[in-house]
Amino acid sequence: MRIAITRLKGKEGDDQARCARRGHDCYAVSPLIGEMDSDQIDAFIQDVKEKKFDCIFFTSALPAQNIGPYLQDLPLPRVIAIGPQTAKALREYGIPCEVLHEFYSRAFVPFLGDWIAGKKIGIPRSDVPNDKLMNGIRDAGGFPFEFQIYSLIPTYEQLNLDNAEGVMFTSALSFKSAIWKRREDLVLIAIGEITAETMEDAGLVPDVVGDGSLEGTLDELNLFLLTNPGG
């Protein structure tokens, strides 16, 4: 299947190779662009240098890719990556990290358990609010320090789905920001349950719901295609 995958403009990475390994072709469509905030990046790096954190939590690969080069020669606290692609980005700069057991920020506090109490957590992330994460850390006795190192800005460009047999929305915001023409023959794919809930709230029930990862979502797509011949 040829799949259009929502990605930040220029940040499709190795999607094609990953899709090919599961028998699909893909290309990126970009309802959003990421704009970095150098002041916030500098502030975060300075706090790392001053050893202000007991733990750093990377909630996506983009902060890891942009901050990793500045951290690779610094003594670091405990580092947590939300998923394997974020971990891969960190490890490319020689930064050892742990990986959550599921690809959602809600898993962060349970992953740390009682250890989090009294700990200062540095979180370089986007400007999209995540009150559940911040409140969850506080409720567990931790102290979150959020650095909004990039903004997610709509491109207002219509997604090119002319040659796509399916479209995969990789976040709730990418779905909300997307301008696209719906087709009855288009397989609708949500990368995870939060994205799926957002789609359902808009009156669209996804055909496929993944586990929050690209590979897991493609596995679910293959199961869907197996049980629904012809799409």
Identify whether residues 132 and 179 lie together within a single domain.
no
According to the model, what pLDDT value does residue 230 have? Answer: 65
Average pLDDT over residues 172-190: 96
Examine the fold and report which residue of 103, 135, 152 is the final residue of a domain before the chain moves on.
152
pLDDT tens digits for range 71-91: 999 999 999 999 999 999 999
Identify whether residues 142 and 59 lie together within a single domain.
yes
Query: What percent of the chain has a predicted confidence (pLDDT) above 90?
Result: 94
Examine the fold and report which residue of 107, 132, 152 is the final residue of a domain before the chain moves on.
152
Range of the domain at 196: 2-31+155-227
Res. 231 pLDDT band, cuts 50 70 90: low
Identify whether residues 83 and 45 lie together within a single domain.
yes
Identify whether residues 166 and 192 lie together within a single domain.
yes
More confident residue, 229 or 179: 179
Identify whether residues 26 and 39 lie together within a single domain.
no
Identify whether residues 215 and 120 lie together within a single domain.
no
Indicate which CATH number applies to the domain containing 95.
3.40.50.10090
Identify whether residues 56 and 126 lie together within a single domain.
yes
Examine the fold and report which residue of 127, 152, 177 is the final residue of a domain before the chain moves on.
152
The number of folded domains in the chain is 2
Average pLDDT over residues 195-219: 96
Identify whether residues 166 and 113 lie together within a single domain.
no
Reported residue count of the chain is 231
Identify whether residues 41 and 132 lie together within a single domain.
yes
According to the model, what pLDDT value does residue 10 have? Answer: 75
Identify whether residues 160 and 140 lie together within a single domain.
no
Is the predicted pLDDT of residue 184 greater than 60, yes or no? Answer: yes
Q: How far apart are CA 36 and CA 121, in angstroms?
A: 21
Identify whether residues 136 and 214 lie together within a single domain.
no
Identify whether residues 73 and 144 lie together within a single domain.
yes
pTM of the model: 0.90
Is the predicted pLDDT of residue 11 greater than 80, yes or no? Answer: no
Provide Rg for the chain, Cα atoms. 18
Average pLDDT over residues 100-124: 96
pLDDT tens digits for range 18-49: 999 999 999 999 999 999 999 999 999 999 99
